[in-house]
Homo-oligomer: A and B are copies of this chain.
């Protein structure tokens, strides 16, 4: 392959592999014809699929492995098998053969292998699952979506930093509004670590606007460019959003089905309904990044189709072009989080 940008692809992960991956690459290839793909997967299955896309095929190198990580595999078990398509695909980033890796496989395994192979960036204690979400007025960055069940204040501050850089590079926000996900009950303003992180963020001299606490029902209003939480809370919020969007759409469908009158009006509304569907379509937000590693590792939704996979591929290409990882490194070198945290804890305001 030439000097082109190379993305490493685990073709054997997810429910619809390898079909969704190859069909997805074909879609992404049209938008990014100058990007090459290094594909890891079962030659017998992948090669015939690639043959269906002669132009894409020329931009791809296929490396054979028949070892696939399954959804039910435990990360601790699979991590040592270096011959799985996932492990080989991640290792290609470490070896500088590719600038990023994308897999639709087992999240826990991909996180474990990515951490083991790529290592966390100096200055980052834990990587976070990061995604771009829809809101009423604009898109925003949300993290952690499930990598870390429990987090301390410094983890949350690091997430805020990573999210801000992603907001700047992926969404072109100049001075991101950063908020900590919290509940607004009068009795309590959330957990100790959130309060501590808020103190640190209001003291740090960063090129962001710290807006304090954000409640989950404000996320959809677009009040923040970056919403930060521990992985348990973020995953709960993410899945609540997904479930409710699905519920409302289904209730609407059932109500329309049950009303002969609605059938008459429906054709007029199809463009409007399509527009809403597009804003909320999870496929168009596919591709969660494990932020904080020495190299980009991106998790595609396991159940996604070709369109969803192509979105993950295109987003990853943008992140690579925007130099997300090196931007993060530079910012981390400029601040000393531990020192700020020590100051917050030991100096009386």
A residues sitting closer than 8 Å to B (CB atoms) are 71, 74-75, 106-109, 111-112, 134-136, 146-147, 149-150, 181, 183, 185-188, 190-191, 215-221, 231-233, 235-237, 239-252, 255-256, 258-259, 261-269, 271-273, 275-276, 279-280
CB neighbours of A135 from chain B (8 A): 247
A256 to B252: give the CA distance in the assembly, Å.
15
CB neighbours of A188 from chain B (8 A): 108, 149
Cβ-defined contact, A107 with B280, below 8 A: no
Cβ-defined contact, B146 with A108, below 8 A: no
Among the listed B112, B239, B242, B247, which residue makes an inter-chain contact with A136, where contact means beta carbons less than 8 Å apart? B247
Cβ-defined contact, B107 with A186, below 8 A: yes
Cβ-defined contact, A217 with B233, below 8 A: no
A39 to B251: give the CA distance in the assembly, Å.
39
- Nearest residue (CB) in B for A129 is B185
Cβ-defined contact, B266 with A239, below 8 A: no
Cβ-defined contact, A249 with B251, below 8 A: no
Q: How far is the CB of A214 from chain B (nearest CB, A)?
A: 10
Cβ-defined contact, A239 with B262, below 8 A: no
Given contacts A107-B187, A232-B183, contact A276 B251 (CB under 8 A): yes
- Nearest residue (CB) in B for A279 is B251
Among the listed B191, B220, B236, which residue makes an inter-chain contact with A216, where contact means beta carbons less than 8 Å apart? B236
Cβ-defined contact, B186 with A108, below 8 A: yes
Given contacts A250-B136, A271-B261, contact A191 B150 (CB under 8 A): yes
A116 to B41: give the CA distance in the assembly, Å.
64
CB neighbours of A150 from chain B (8 A): 191
A107 to B147: give the CA distance in the assembly, Å.
32
Cβ-defined contact, B240 with A187, below 8 A: no
A247 to B221: give the CA distance in the assembly, Å.
7
Given contacts A259-B271, A262-B271, contact A190 B232 (CB under 8 A): yes
A235 to B251: give the CA distance in the assembly, Å.
23
Q: How far is the CB of A265 from chain B (nearest CB, A)?
A: 3
Given contacts A146-B183, A266-B265, contact A217 B235 (CB under 8 A): no
Q: How far is the CB of A272 from chain B (nearest CB, A)?
A: 4
CB neighbours of A280 from chain B (8 A): 248, 251
Cβ-defined contact, B240 with A216, below 8 A: yes
Given contacts A267-B265, A269-B256, contact A75 B239 (CB under 8 A): no
CB neighbours of A108 from chain B (8 A): 185-188
Among the listed B231, B244, B267, B273, which residue makes an inter-chain contact with A241, where contact means beta carbons less than 8 Å apart? B244
Cβ-defined contact, A240 with B265, below 8 A: no
A272 to B220: give the CA distance in the assembly, Å.
24
CB neighbours of A251 from chain B (8 A): 136, 275-276, 279-280
By Cβ-Cβ distance, the 8 closest A-B pairs, closest first, are A265-B268, A108-B187, A217-B243, A240-B240, A265-B265, A220-B247, A108-B186, A255-B272
Cβ-defined contact, A218 with B232, below 8 A: no
